[in-house]
């Protein structure tokens, strides 16, 4: 009698352990059908707890939801790390891709990106860039700077025509705003009339010492180098 009774107890215990064994296998057949990287997973709802450094992404379809563990959150979501679970949270309604709930990286169609926000129109003081759908700060240029030294082939000396340049930079104080502004410049011709070190001035007149002496007077035909006779 004892042997059949023990056999019945073992069969009953095995039947009770079937649901638990299914959960431990972590093989789901729900919406995703994948429990990879899960710590706790069920067939109906997928993952509910992920391994360390993975994010829990909850996908909803109607009234059903299914959890999945991912390395990176999909587009339209951003990752938030917590003490117990790392979760993927959805970006704002007008945001296509975001870094956090308050900072967008790319906006949805017909919205302009401005300092992490998605706006239907660009604010005053900015210009809408249709190619990138971003709002760019308008440039406020400052006064013209001083003319640079006159140079020719990289030299500021010699006797030639050179060029001098001046620039007009953005008048805004902010680095980010000034970086978007185009710097204007203009050049003009200028004369260079300064001798280089070790060179003589080409315009300096030659001194009298450098002049050649006058040629000797031509002698008459009586004889070269002979003195004339005194009159009788």
- The pTM (predicted TM-score) of the whole model is 0.48
Please check the confidence at residue 221 and state whether its pLDDT lies above 50.
no
Alpha helix (H) residue ranges in the chain: 2-25, 175-179
- Give the CB-side neighbour count of residue 46, counting CA atoms within 13 A: 21
Classify 109 as helix, strand or coil. Answer: coil
**Chain Cα centroid distance, residue 225:** 93
Rounded to 10 degrees, the C-alpha dihedral 188/193/197/202 comes to 140
pLDDT of residue 12: 55
The helix (H) or strand (E) run that includes residue 18 is: helix 2-25
Closest CA to 84 of 43, 54, 46: 54
Closest CA to 105 of 130, 133, 137: 133
Residues in the chain: 232
Please check the confidence at residue 206 and state whether its pLDDT lies above 90.
no
Residue 23: pLDDT band with limits 50, 70, 90: very low
Instruction: Encode pLDDT of 163-184 as tens digits.
Output: 999 987 766 544 444 455 667 7
- The domains located in the chain, with CATH, are 34-90 (2.10.220.10), 94-138 (2.10.220.10), 140-172+182-195 (no CATH)
- Give the CB-side neighbour count of residue 85, counting CA atoms within 13 A: 18
């Amino acid at each position: 009698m004892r042997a059949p009774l023990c056999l019945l107890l073992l069969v009953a215990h095995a039947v009770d352990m079937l649901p638990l064994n299914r959960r431990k296998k972590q093989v789901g057949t729900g919406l995703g059908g994948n429990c990879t990287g899960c710590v706790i997973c069920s067939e109906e709802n997928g993952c509910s707890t992920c391994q360390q450094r993975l994010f829990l992404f909850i996908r909803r379809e109607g009234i059903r939801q299914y959890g999945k563990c991912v390395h990176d959150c999909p587009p339209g979501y951003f990752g938030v790390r917590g003490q117990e679970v790392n979760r993927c949270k959805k970006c704002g309604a007008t945001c296509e891709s975001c870094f956090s709930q308050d900072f967008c990286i790319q906006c949805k169609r017909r919205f302009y990106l401005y300092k992490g926000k998605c706006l239907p129109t660009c604010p005053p003081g900015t210009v809408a860039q249709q190619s990138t759908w971003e709002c760019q700060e308008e440039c406020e240029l400052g006064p013209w700077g001083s003319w640079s030294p006159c140079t020719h082939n990289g030299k500021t000396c010699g006797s030639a025509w050179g060029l001098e340049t001046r620039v007009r930079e953005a008048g805004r104080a902010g680095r980010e705003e000034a970086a978007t502004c185009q710097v204007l410049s203009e050049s003009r011709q200028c004369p260079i009339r300064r001798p280089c070190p070790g060179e003589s001035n080409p315009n300096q007149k030659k001194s009298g010492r450098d002049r050649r002496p006058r040629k000797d007077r031509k002698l008459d035909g009586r004889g070269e180098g002979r003195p004339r006779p005194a009159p009788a």
